[in-house]
């Protein structure tokens, strides 16, 4: 679905495009598994599988039961699931994560990373965010959190076995030492962190010691990866995890963004997952060049089947790519009511509300289009591009009309309206990346319209994409494109999403 293999044998970054931040990876034999943060969306924590680190297939979402993922309506967007760490130890997968604004730090286990995952084990003594797990030779489990501090944890009972102690704070003066991961590689214990904040100053640093508790000696070349103050199409590089490649060499997976639209740039897809090779010099990792087009790695690439452009909603269970806001109640979002259709029933709320009934998929390409066939004869609903409650654009059918709306902060406006044709209607959005020179309104243009009976697409309203960018909205997510119900019951026969040119 993701790492597009190139004809010269190289590969394209990001390897998992769209809002897939804070990647954590683990290798078991020839198999790689990777997870991401998911914030206010349910199900949470997408789980990916790969054999080559480049081509990834989503095999599930770790948190797909309400008991695992309480996301209260009082919780703001961009709270919820932050920064999981995925590890394999003692025949089991371990997933430690923070549910910010809800249960705090919790631990899950599974024998199959595709699920089912356990119910959450509360970790009342684990402070802060970004928890990491590492086991030493004696079987002691070390938990390290943002800050950076560390303590012994009993991962079976969830009890802390020692007091948190500060191990390293990163570069003097750098803000937000976070995203720690501790590894035993060769003769050293390495402590990998992110610092500088998750915006343009983001970077990756490392320290090492001969014991898991340190003392840790910072790498003289820190930060080992950053694009801060650089003219580079990839920015905000940080929050990384180290992994050994199929040929025995090493790689980092990390988050970064692709801003567009000139300076300072606006990124609209959220923080995405990138891959970069690592070599070792004097026992320190040296990160290779991180580019959008990467050279062929030293191992064969094994493509995975692409997710079909169209979802016909013919299966009883939704594909794991579909995510809803805070919860997915079976009576409000179901494929079982009208066979071959997705039915959404409004909870009396609009896209401005935390309990909106919205089911979408991440926008993964800078230029793309989405279409959906909507039956709005018993309600109002449509197709939205969502960043959060205060930032979304949508086209809505119902009550005899089709309307385009924009919500930007405290401003909400109707952009266009026209009569609703009889019967189900195809609503669509075309998202077109703009070149910097034409981009006084960039980085992209978001155009909503309807498909006429002859198949032509009539645009009703075009909006500047930058107001649905993280530089404008703040927060930690990216755009999600999907279907919603604003009143009554709305049925969706199918949903198409395709990359367009210059994607
Ligand atoms: C995450 C922190 C970060 O907890 O952003 O970029 C926070 N890194 O490590 C939310 O993703």
Matching fold, domains 10-295 and 310-499: no
Distance from the alpha carbon of residue 199 to the mean position of ligand 1, in angstroms:
10
Rounded-to-integer distance, Cα 175 and Cα 170, Å? 9
Q: Is the CB of 405 under 6 A from ligand 1?
A: no
CA angle 138, 139, 145 (to 5 degrees): 115
Q: Reply yes or no on whether the pLDDT at 4 is more than 60.
A: no
CA angle centred on 376, ends 375 and 380, rounded to 5°: 145
Q: What is the pLDDT of residues 282-331, one digit of tens each?
A: 999 999 999 999 999 999 999 999 999 999 999 989 999 999 999 999 99
> Could you report the predicted ipTM of this complex, rounded to two decimals?
0.96
Residues catalogued as catalytic:
22, 178
Q: Which atom of ligand 1 is nearest to the CA of 78?
A: 10
- For 441-461, give the DSSP string: T-SEEEEEEEE-TTS-EEEEE
The reply to whether CATH 2.60.120.200 applies to domain 310-499 is yes
Give the DSSP H/E element, type plus range, for residue 243: strand 235-244
The CATH number given to 10-295 is 2.115.10.20
Q: Could you tell which of 129, 225, 256 is best to mutate to test the pocket of ligand 1, judged by most ligand atoms within 8 Å of the CB?
A: 129
- Measuring from atom 10 of ligand 1, which residue has the nearest CA? 82
The DSSP line for 142-196 is: EEEETTTEEEEB-TTT--BSS--EE----STT-S--EEEEEEEETTEEEEEEEES
Instruction: Report yes or no: 346 and 329 within 8 Å, Cβ to Cβ.
Output: no
Ligand 1 contacts CB of residue 130 (under 6 A): yes
Res. 2: pLDDT tops 50:
no
Q: Is the pLDDT score of 23 beyond 50? A: yes
Residues 33/47, Cβ–Cβ less than 8 Å: yes
**Closest atom of ligand 1 to CA, residue 178:** 9
Measured from the Cβ of residue 102, the count of other Cβ atoms closer than 10 Å reads 17
Per-residue model confidence (pLDDT) at position 3: 46
Atom 9 in ligand 1: residue holding the nearest Cα = 179
Summarize the confidence of residues 25-52 as an average pLDDT: 98
- pLDDT of 94 strictly over 60: yes
- Measured in Å, residue 379 CA sits from the centre of ligand 1 at 39
| 176 dihedral zone (left: phi>0; alpha: psi -120 to 50; beta) | left
Per-residue pLDDT reduced to its tens digit, 389-420:
999 999 999 999 999 999 999 999 999 999 99
From the CA of 21, how far away is ligand 1's center (Å)? 8
CB atoms within 10 A of CB 169: 15
Longest Cα–Cα distance of the chain, Å, equals: 72
Give DSSP secondary structure letters for 94-141.
Answer: EEEEEEETTTEEEEEEESSTTSPPPPPEE-TT--SS--EEEE-TT-PE
Q: For residue 98, which atom of ligand 1 is closest to its CA?
A: 4
Instruction: Give CA–CA dist 178/194, Å, rounded.
Output: 5
Q: Give the whole-angstrom CA distance, residue 344 versus residue 318.
A: 13
Instruction: Give me the residue spans of the domains in the chain.
Output: 10-295, 310-499
Nearest residue to 498 via CA among 308, 324, 272: 308
Ligand 1 midpoint to CA 82 (Å): 6
């Amino acid at each position: 679905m993701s790492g597009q293999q190139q004809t010269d044998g190289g590969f394209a970054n990001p390897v998992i495009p769209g809002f897939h931040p804070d990647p954590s990876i683990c290798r078991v034999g020839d198999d790689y598994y990777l997870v991401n943060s998911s914030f206010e969306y349910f199900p949470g924590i997408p789980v990916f599988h790969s054999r080559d680190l480049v081509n990834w297939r989503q095999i599930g979402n770790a948190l797909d039961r309400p008991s695992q993922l309480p996301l209260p309506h009082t919780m703001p967007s961009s709270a919820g699931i932050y920064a999981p760490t995925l590890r394999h130890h003692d025949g089991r997968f371990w997933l430690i994560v923070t549910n910010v604004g809800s249960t705090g730090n919790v631990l899950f286990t599974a024998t199959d990373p595709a699920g089912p995952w356990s119910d959450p084990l509360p970790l009342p003594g684990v402070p802060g965010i970004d928890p990491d797990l590492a086991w030493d030779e004696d079987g002691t489990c070390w938990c390290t959190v943002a800050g950076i501090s560390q303590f012994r944890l009993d991962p079976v009972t969830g009890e802390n076995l020692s007091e948190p102690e500060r191990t390293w704070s990163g570069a003097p003066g750098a803000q937000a030492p976070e995203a720690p991961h501790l590894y035993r590689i060769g003769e050293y214990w390495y402590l990998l962190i992110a610092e500088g904040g998750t915006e343009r100053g983001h970077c990756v640093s490392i320290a090492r010691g001969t014991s898991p508790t340190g003392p840790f000696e910072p790498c003289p070349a820190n930060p080992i990866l950053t694009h801060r103050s650089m003219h580079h199409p990839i920015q905000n590089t940080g929050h990384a995890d180290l992994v050994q490649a199929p040929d025995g060499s090493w790689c980092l997976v990390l988050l970064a963004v692709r801003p567009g639209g000139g300076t300072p740039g606006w990124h609209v897809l959220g923080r995405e997952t990138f891959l970069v090779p690592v070599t070792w010099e004097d026992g320190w990792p040296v990160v290779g060049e991180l580019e959008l087009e990467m050279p062929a790695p030293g191992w064969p690439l094994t493509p995975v089947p692409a997710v079909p452009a169209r979802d016909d909603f013919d299966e009883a269970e939704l594909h794991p790519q579909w995510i809803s806001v805070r919860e997915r109640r079976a009576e409000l979002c179901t494929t079982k009511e009208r066979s071959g259709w997705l039915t959404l029933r409004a909870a009396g709320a609009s896209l401005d509300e935390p309990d909106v009934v919205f089911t979408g998929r991440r926008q993964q390409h800078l230029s793309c289009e989405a279409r959906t066939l909507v039956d709005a004869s018993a309600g109002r609903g449509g197709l939205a591009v969502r960043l959060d409650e205060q930032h979304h654009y949508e086209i809505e059918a119902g009550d005899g009309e089709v309307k385009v709306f924009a919500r930007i902060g405290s401003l909400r406006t109707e952009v266009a309206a026209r009569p609703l044709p009889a019967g189900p209607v195809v609503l669509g959005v075309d998202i077109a990346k703009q070149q910097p020179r034409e981009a006084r309104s960039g980085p992209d243009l978001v155009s909503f319209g309807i498909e006429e009976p002859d198949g032509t697409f009539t645009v009703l309203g075009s909006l500047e994409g930058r107001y649905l960018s993280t530089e404008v909205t703040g927060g930690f997510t990216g755009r999600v494109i999907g279907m919603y119900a604003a009143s009554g019951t709305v049925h969706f026969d199918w949903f198409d999403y395709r990359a367009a040119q210059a994607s």
